[in-house]
Structure 1
Amino acid sequence: MQTWIDPANPLPSTTSLSNSMTATSQFPNFPISLTRLYINGEWRDAANGKTFEVIDPTTEAVVAQVAEGTQADAEAAIASAHRAFEQGGWGQMNGHERGEILWRVGDLFLKYGEELAFLQAKEMGRLFTDSMAIDIPHLSNVFHYFAGWASKIEGSVKQTTKGLHTYTLREPLGVIAAITPFNFPLILSIHKFAPALAAGNTIVHKPASSTPLSALKVAEIMQEAGVPDGVFNVVPGPGSTVGHTLSTHPDVHKVAITGSTASGIRVIKDSADTLKHLTMELGGKSANIIFADADLDAAAETAYYGMFYNKGEICYAGSRMLIERSVYDEVLERVVKWAKQTKVGDPLDPRSQMGPIANKSEYENVLRYMEVGKQDGARLVSGGKAVDIGTGRGYFVEPTVFADVNSDMTIAREETFGPILSVIPFDNFEDAIRIANSNQYGLVAGVHTRDIKKAHRAAASLKAGTVWVNTWGRFDPSSPFGGYKMSGYGRENGQEALEFYLQTKTVWVDLS
């Protein structure tokens, strides 16, 4: 997976996938029918019958009323997952059989790709073309990758004392709670589902309250693929009830969360009494360093996409762009040009390059940070306000660039989670590394240089879980991802992810 279309294409979200839509001027459309909880293989209403509204951030219209899970519903889902783990055959199933089911899940993501892309556009404003070009193939690849691992989970024989036979078993943990955010509803969820299921665990998923529709479609895909009842459950609802129940219940053995650092800390505290296993993929305020010896055109373009892709609603957004002082104005000019040319519009329109902010509260927060940047004395060189795309509706904002930012400013310290780029000058290699590492977060970092020795020195010096050199946003199912410092711990993707969904049992047999 890469997080943007080839930068040589001046309209990065206008791909061949959308040619038919362009020709007919028809946007994709699918009925929204999955609005109930999915527990033990059944679609059911909330225990108290309550629902909540899902709002289209493009039109501000209600697109669905979804069952609002309660504590009782969360407990029912946990009980279902616990029974499926303890009494069902999923964890004990032959790894090849489990892998075959997961492979079918991967195939079905391709079959239902357009519907999934449509649902993401309607619930959080993700560009349909980006979903089709990037998300859907990645979902399929991740499930196919971990389907292969399901039959390769093995223990080992240990050489211990003579007369003793010692070996290890790799066993699943049990019930996994997957708590996921609104910004990449599908990708950030399947990064948890695929390794957890491959290892033989069962799942209760709590999606973000603003993005339950794609999650419920995934439940239908799991059902169609043959995932046994109770192995996969979905309970949309508030974090204060559903999320808290998952984090505290003794029959939940692990919580895997992607979210803000504050949300992660709450889960850690809630889960402490039951000593749950945890994977924390949390916030970021990532530095993207451009040295004077870089290919400046490529670096500026990459930095633009690294910040403004998916409206800047990305934990790994390159929201701090560090430019060596001797080329500062030159690179800044290039990035500002890209920002000003961005077409903000309906995410279902193949001509759009940036859709709306995902929901009203995030929209208001992004606008607040734009004002904070101005008040702190940063130099606004592009954007800085809301956008009307001609409908008078929707949560649209301009791609915003602040220059002459320093590390003490709020917009350089806090995760703004929107299209706000802070541009910071630096003097030399040591200065760049110092500024990059001065932040509390450590999710990712970027380095742009033609000097391979400098690139390796920088990668070794940066306190981040991922370092991209002369690129940004590259992912693959085989490559682990996760943070340092306040960006969390644990890893998703790769063989490393499996380790966080397994536990080791050592068996000693006396042969004397």
Structure 2
Amino acid sequence: MREQGRLFVGGEWVAPSTDRVIEVVSPHSEQVFARVAAPDVEDVDRAVAAARQAFDKGSWPRLDPSERVASVRRLAGLYAPRREELARVVTAETGTPITFSRSVHAELPLAVMRAFADIAEGYPWEENRPGFYGRDIILQKMPVGVIAAIVPWNMPVLLAVMKLVPALLAGCSVVLKPSSETPLDAYLLAEVLEEAGLPPGLVSVLPGDRDLGRYLVSHPEVDKVSFTGSTEAGWQVATACGTELKRVSLDLGGKSAAVVLEDADPAAVAAGVKVAGLMNGGQACAAQTRVLLPRSRYGEFADALASMVESLVVGDPADPATEVGPLVTERQRDRVLDHIERGLKEGARLVVGGTGLPDGVDRGWYVRPTLFRDVDSDMRIAQEEIFGPVLTLIPYRDEEEAIRIADDTQYGLSGSVWTPDVQRGLSVARRVRSGTFGVNQAYSMDPAAPFGGMKDSGMGRELGPEGIEEYLDVKSISVAPPD
């Protein structure tokens, strides 16, 4: 049994304000395997006060940016040797297969740290611009202030780093609130932050539930909220921030489409959708779970995709051979099963999967990888984010209809197009309304490129120079020559 009885507040491990605990349950065994202290609103107050002090009176916002870059590079160097430990922790918490935890949950955060340090090193923190009236204008990039960074359980470390690191490089202080389902990886990251020797008060890590998140979002001393989560929760965050004219960025849900053109290779499409649609067991906002197939070759593509889904190895996430593990919570498992039952009632044709435990599994929050074909775009399984290993195959007549169907949701986060004709693929990519898109691949989350969505998938961007700019204000200074 793992135990953590203290909280990371302002860069120090301190006693919590209450004796409540968070029990961490294994999605594979359904057994409690860790207990950590549960923060309360008093702990949030302490964390925000420390962040306020660090920003208003501390050295960090006033350092030369090169010094902040050096600190982030040091942080990356301390994180690197702990990747295997972190991968195993994330697998235990979330049920993600260990191979995915190693390649994504543990490896990508390191790439993001290094990429942001490179970007910040060359970023124009101050610019000169010729003014309209002939006078020089100086543009000064200034940190926003105290940041509330709220991340979900599905990509816990990556999403934390995508918020924390650019905020620190910008000169902000941060209160990070991970999900109560994934406190252990957050505290491992806190240990690395402590070892990096950041200034007092600069960072706090307080895993908690939605009530704690609401309190943090509404705290009057928070200057900006960066939130990743469901669209429904994002609406509430945006409303709270709007009431107080507080800066906010939102990375929300998705129901992305993989557009398969008639000249694509069925085997290549099946291999690509295995990643694009079923990454992290479908528990990814950018997962392309709607697969749009041309009627002229519908059967070929559907058969190839069905064979792929049927061949997936489901089981113990600690086994390197496992491709699909359990879902993160019993609540999430039940929600996905409800969607599968709804698809059957709506008249979609179940080809693979369905309800019930997968073969060889006798416990855990597992869902059989599922594929529906002959799905209409207006069915709820084609409109609502399922967040599980469920694919829907939707037929289309021509390219115009494919683009219309791809855009026929409230979301606009990601997508892909599959064709050997790259120029034709780029033409489709440019027309679909989404913040990210891949040609012959799942959208590749490159740390140098902005990530974010349109419509109900959110506002603002993470990664790339745009990711740093989310934590900056711009002051213009007009300079007149002396008399």
TM over 0.5: yes
2:190 matched to 1:219? yes
One-letter amino acid matched to 2:184:
L
What residue in structure 1 maps to residue 292 of structure 2? 322
Q: CA deviation at 1:391?
A: 6.1
2:179 matched to 1:208? yes
Query: Which of the numbers 324, 329, 332 marks the counterpart of 1:362?
Result: 332
2:271 matched to 1:301? yes
What residue in structure 1 maps to residue 12 of structure 2? 42
One-letter amino acid matched to 2:161:
I
What residue in structure 2 maps to residue 9 of structure 1? none
Q: CA deviation at 1:294?
A: 1.2
2:308 matched to 1:338? yes
One-letter amino acid matched to 1:159:
P
2:40 matched to 1:67? no
What residue in structure 2 maps to residue 20 of structure 1? none
Identify unmatched segments of 5+ residues in structure 1: 1-30
One-letter amino acid matched to 1:461:
R
One-letter amino acid matched to 2:131:
T
Report the secondary structure of 1:186's partner residue: helix
What residue in structure 1 maps to residue 362 of structure 2? 392
The 5 Å alignment of 1:129-144 reads: 129-144=99-114
Query: Which of the numbers 391, 411, 421 marks the counterpart of 1:451?
Result: 421
Report the secondary structure of 1:112's partner residue: helix
CA deviations over 1:91-127 (Å, ceiling 9, x no partner)? 1122222111101211222210111111101111112
The 5 Å alignment of 1:36-435 reads: 36-151=6-121, 152-160=123-131, 165-240=136-211, 242-387=212-357, 390=360, 392-435=362-405
**Kept in 2: contact 1:343–1:354 (CA 8 A):** yes
Moved over 6 A (4+): none
Report the secondary structure of 1:221's partner residue: helix
**Kept in 1: contact 2:17–2:43 (CA 8 A):** yes
Q: CA deviation at 1:36?
A: 3.0
Q: Which moved more, 1:45-54 or 1:475-484?
A: 45-54
Q: CA deviation at 1:250?
A: 2.0
Q: CA deviation at 1:137?
A: 2.5
Q: TM-score, normalised by structure 2?
A: 0.96
* Aligned-partner Cα distance in 2 for 1:149–1:198: 10
Q: TM-score, normalised by structure 1?
A: 0.91
**Kept in 2: contact 1:109–1:139 (CA 8 A):** no
Q: CA deviation at 1:147?
A: 1.8
Q: CA deviation at 1:272?
A: 1.7
Identify unmatched segments of 5+ residues in structure 2: none
Report the secondary structure of 1:203's partner residue: strand
Q: CA deviation at 1:229?
A: 2.2
* Aligned-partner Cα distance in 2 for 1:430–1:180: 37
Q: CA deviation at 1:451?
A: 2.5
Q: Which moved more, 1:162-171 or 1:91-100?
A: 162-171
Q: CA deviation at 1:162?
A: 7.0
**Kept in 1: contact 2:314–2:323 (CA 8 A):** yes
* Aligned-partner Cα distance in 1 for 2:464–2:5: 33
**Kept in 2: contact 1:119–1:213 (CA 8 A):** yes
CA deviations over 1:75-102 (Å, ceiling 9, x no partner)? 1111111111111111112222211110
Report the secondary structure of 1:466's partner residue: coil
* Aligned-partner Cα distance in 2 for 1:45–1:420: 43
Q: CA deviation at 1:389?
A: 6.3
One-letter amino acid matched to 2:142:
E
What residue in structure 2 maps to residue 27 of structure 1? none
* Aligned-partner Cα distance in 2 for 1:496–1:391: 44
Report the secondary structure of 2:387's partner residue: coil
Equivalenced residue count is: 481
Q: CA deviation at 1:160?
A: 3.0
* Aligned-partner Cα distance in 1 for 2:55–2:393: 50
**Kept in 1: contact 2:71–2:198 (CA 8 A):** yes
**Kept in 2: contact 1:91–1:201 (CA 8 A):** yes
* Aligned-partner Cα distance in 2 for 1:284–1:444: 7
One-letter amino acid matched to 2:256:
S
Aligned-pair identity (%): 39
| Shift in alpha-carbon separation, 1:330–1:229, aligned structure 2, 3 A | same
